[in-house]
Chain A
């Protein structure tokens, strides 16, 4: 029986993308151009020009020019275009999700979920008039001397975004920054620039004053230009740990405020008392959702105690049933890797695991995906009998590859979770409150899950890791975001 579950693509090709500068789209005449490729079909679906320093300069100049007037705009008026953008995003929710699938490869539910979180961040930023309120203390300095602490915007801020969440990650930063009175330059990943281009069509419609928010397409050259520009006061970055570390150092050396979210290797602990019937599907989603390409994905499965074999068997059985395909087919449960280079990298890790002697319980190499023989697909892959020194256990793979590392008890599981250099996220599945409490108390990580495998903070909570997963002080989102995008000033007053 035919089932109409395949959604249409929003468009077959999106042409040559443009930058958005000073309130309008402008052509970028850079000679360096990349093809944006649909990873399921390997069809070219857009061309993205890679901006050079001169194009970055135009965007930063526009943002700088807009800053003074924007910061003097009352906060309740600054959030009005954000409200309008929220409405426009709701109206275009489905079409943006489909573009996202087309350029990134994630399945439509994942795309819709990330658009929802994009909107969540926008909604949070709309609360800026309250979030920005300061503190005052009458007679705080001395009798007759009042003291107040206020928040002021920094100036031009910029975000350098990763490839795994093309819609959402820029929205961790720019709506809040702009609501706080800053102006902004977004640089999406050159691998997945179309979603932001479509969103910026709505930004244009929402009616922000010219230059308040700008978009520059490009690669490292554009990122370096943003980091080096003295007018840019703050940099937000999300990507791999080596690049995060490098940008943190470079931006700090240029005197900027900086927050860099890096890689992850997240341990998922399953206690012997865990409710496997209820939670195995959730574990599978943690490891294989977004094809493993998220900083909150599970990477190492740590079954504890006597039921370790059972946990492994049930996990592998469930993972093996996942349906691969093009994410616009709504019945598909896992899409391709986001691009050729990353696809090759993940395959290399699998080869390395085999070469290092790990036992391959589930081999996702060369899956047969009907209709998409050219796609960058790797199926769920599970290694057992690994040792902590193997590269597949130590390094971030950022793909649908799981290693199983057994622990004899909770203490050993916690020690394993803390053994790596990363500290982004970790989860425990248990029916014991005591075990859950010990886990969240002792495990190093910015995001801890209890009976859920993707511990993703909502827009009103801070989002960031520890260890080598984060470089900086203030995380993205929530009140940390307000702190990052504002300077504190204390005023002490005496009258008469």
Chain B
């Protein structure tokens, strides 16, 4: 799965990385939501403070993946192309797999912790991408900033804080 996250050297790879991130987060949040669907399975449940549950988390990432595709197509023109440097792909990699579901509350905690950690890395990715976009694409800076904030909020909710 990590093979889908390219080195970040250009506008295209920055957006490709972001899209891979969103698709992956949508997938793992969706799987977690399925697990949570069965009462008592693994002890996984939506914590108080989670915005709208794991399914909503998956939906948010699917929506953002679509939004990124629009940005990739519409915002790209030669005036704004320039090399992108300083973003290490390994810094932002999400958890590739959810912990194996077991019995009891601890398995659910581990899953939520894994999702929260991934959201925190996503938030960091978008924060750095927003800074990077300041001089590349002003319009993207705002979008990335919003995504950074959303992921940060989601991470807090997943950790139940």
Contacts and interface: CB of A to CB of B under 8 A. Distances in A.
A279 B79 CA distance: 13
A15 interface: no
Contact of B9 (A279, A282, A285, A323): A323
Contacts of A90: 73
Interface stretch (B11-19, B55-63, B122-130): B11-19
Interface string A318-332: 100111000000111
Interface string B58-79: 0000000000000011101111
A134 B4 CA distance: 54
Given A5-B6, A278-B135, A279-B135, A454 B78 contact: yes
Interface string A1-41: 11111000000000000000000000000000000000000
A110 B83 CA distance: 11
A479 interface: no
Given A2-B3, A278-B135, A281-B82, A112 B74 contact: no
B9 A456 contact: no
A251 interface: no
Interface stretch (A113-121, A179-187, A299-307, A390-398): A113-121
Given A109-B11, A331-B6, A281 B16 contact: no
A421 to B, nearest CB: 25
Nearest to B72: A112
Contact of B79 (A1, A2, A278, A456): A456
Contacts of B5: 3
A236 interface: no
B2 to A, nearest CB: 6
A278 to B, nearest CB: 5
Contact of A116 (B4, B13, B77, B83): B77
B2 A454 contact: no
Contacts of B9: 323, 331-333
B12 A289 contact: no
B7 A3 contact: yes
B82 A285 contact: yes
B83 A331 contact: no
A93 B76 CA distance: 12
B100 interface: no
A114 B78 CA distance: 7
B135 A93 contact: no
B78 A107 contact: no
B49 to A, nearest CB: 36
B13 A331 contact: yes
Interface in B75-94: 76-79, 81-85, 89
B76 A1 contact: no
Contacts of B74: 116
B3 A318 contact: no
Nearest to B73: A93
A290 B3 contact: no
B4 A282 contact: no
A284 interface: yes
A452 interface: yes
B78 A281 contact: no
A48 interface: no
B10 interface: yes
A278 B133 CA distance: 11
A331 B72 CA distance: 15
Contact of B81 (A3, A93, A109, A330): A109
Given A3-B5, A5-B7, A456 B78 contact: yes
A330 B12 contact: yes
**Most A C-beta atoms less than 10 A away, residue of B12, B16, B74:** B12
A331 to B, nearest CB: 5
A281 to B, nearest CB: 4
A279 B10 CA distance: 15
A5 B10 CA distance: 12
Contact of B83 (A93, A112, A278, A284): A284
Interface in A95-143: 107-110, 112-114, 116-117, 120
B1 to A, nearest CB: 10
B67 to A, nearest CB: 16
B78 A117 contact: yes
Contact of B78 (A5, A290, A323, A331): A290
Nearest to A117: B77
Interface string A216-237: 0000000000000000000000
B76 A5 contact: no
Interface of A: 1-5, 90, 93, 107-110, 112-114, 116-117, 120, 278-279, 281-282, 284-285, 289-290, 294, 318, 321-323, 330-333, 452, 454-456
15 contacts: A5-B6, A5-B13, A5-B16, A109-B12, A113-B76, A116-B74, A278-B135, A281-B135, A282-B135, A284-B83, A290-B78, A294-B78, A330-B10, A454-B78, A455-B79
Interface of B: 2-7, 9-13, 16, 72-74, 76-79, 81-85, 89, 134-135
Top 7 A-B pairs ranked by shortest CB distance?
Answer: A285-B82, A5-B6, A109-B12, A113-B78, A281-B82, A331-B7, A113-B77
Given A107-B10, A112-B12, 15 more contacts: A3-B89, A5-B13, A108-B12, A109-B10, A112-B72, A116-B76, A117-B78, A284-B82, A290-B78, A318-B83, A321-B83, A330-B10, A331-B9, A331-B13, A456-B78
